[in-house]
Amino acid sequence: MRLEVKTNVPLAPLTTLGVGGPARFFAETHTENDVREAVDFARRRDIPLFVLGGGSNLLVADTGFHGLVLHVAIKGIDESDAGDRRLFQAGAGEDWDAFVNRAVEKNCAGIECLSGIPGTLGATPVQNVGAYGQEVADTITEVYALDLESGEVNEFSNEACGFAYRASIFNTVARNRFIILGVRFALLKNGPPKTDYRDLKNHLANHTGQPSLAEVRRAVRDIRHSKAMLIVEGDEDARSAGSFFKNPILSAAKFAEVHQIADKRGLHVPSFPAPDGHLKIPAAWLVEQSGFPKGTTMGRVGISRRHALAIVNRGGATAAEVAALKDEIRSAVSGQFGIDLTPEPVFLGF
């Protein structure tokens, strides 16, 4: 076997949260054949397999992971034209923010609002990554993935991916079945930037005329930096897994219940329209109103001073401490508003 498999590799340095134990086995894969060899390695030993991207949406248990961690590092970007669209077919191991920058530099619209999001490109369709009014589902045309059951590389159309809010078939009905090898995006050549999201619109309020894609990318990165959601070396508040909870989507009846609870406390519930007459409310608002304001500290973990949805490692934290704070927050929100917050990160080894 040509693939190098290492043992007892620390995983904490490979995550943005910076906590957790080692991987019993670890392999970095640069080609489809590498991926196949890693899968065979795990099967021969009858051990679990975990696919690691950029480690930006991950909480690793203090005991680590007792199987094989497969780090996808497949690179390469091919471009072609299709009418008014520019097609970008990229390897799953490409850095996501660098890919966004490349698209913006070529004046191709559709992912500029997804600037500054850490991690690798192959991870974006799994969770249907979105921010500031855009989702990757808006521009993905195909996803290429190895089927662990058949051994074939399948091509998934946008529709076949089953995209929904922070979801796809890859993290729901077909979870753990596929390893994403590459993704194709269709971006609009010389298209206008998307600027209708409230935070972005406010940030650009003094801008004269329509901003360029590059200006919107800078604005998004500035906003993310102001909320400690941009990975900056030395910034304690950036040692997080990003937004730790999904924004809950409520039926009209459930929203009325929450509104009634809030009204008794003299609070206004912020909300945004969601499909099928539902309403989305900010998880950050629920967290703060349930007793966990920005800057909350519990020993070596806490809430970011700039973003109520980010649980941060204040230095030397353990995964158990992060999980304990997560549990306390969920319990408080459930007790006060009757809403069960859903965590966004993947929990490995728990």
Residues with catalytic roles: 166, 243, 344
DSSP code per residue over 147-172? ETTT-PEEEEETGGGT-BTTB-GGGT
Residue 94 DSSP label: S
The Cα–Cα gap between 271 and 255 comes to 9
CB atoms within 10 A of CB 184: 18
The Cα–Cα gap between 183 and 133 comes to 21
Q: Which of 110, 30, 98 has its CA nearest to residue 70?
A: 30
Q: Are 168 and 126 in contact (CB under 8 A)?
A: yes
Q: Are 76 and 90 in contact (CB under 8 A)?
A: yes
Q: Which of 329, 320, 313 has its CA nearest to residue 237?
A: 313
The residue written with tokens 């099928």 in the block is 276
Q: Which long-range contacts (CB under 8 A, 24 or more apart) does 71-75 make?
A: 71/14, 71/26, 71/27, 71/28, 71/29, 72/29, 72/35, 72/120, 72/122, 72/179, 72/180, 72/181, 73/28, 73/29, 73/30, 74/29, 74/30, 74/31, 74/32, 74/35, 74/122, 74/181, 74/182, 75/30
The Cα–Cα gap between 309 and 246 comes to 9
Q: Where are the alpha helices (DSSP H) in the chain?
A: 32-45, 96-105, 198-203, 213-226, 252-264, 283-289, 319-337
The Cα–Cα gap between 287 and 237 comes to 17
Indicate the helix (H) or strand (E) that contains 68: strand 65-72
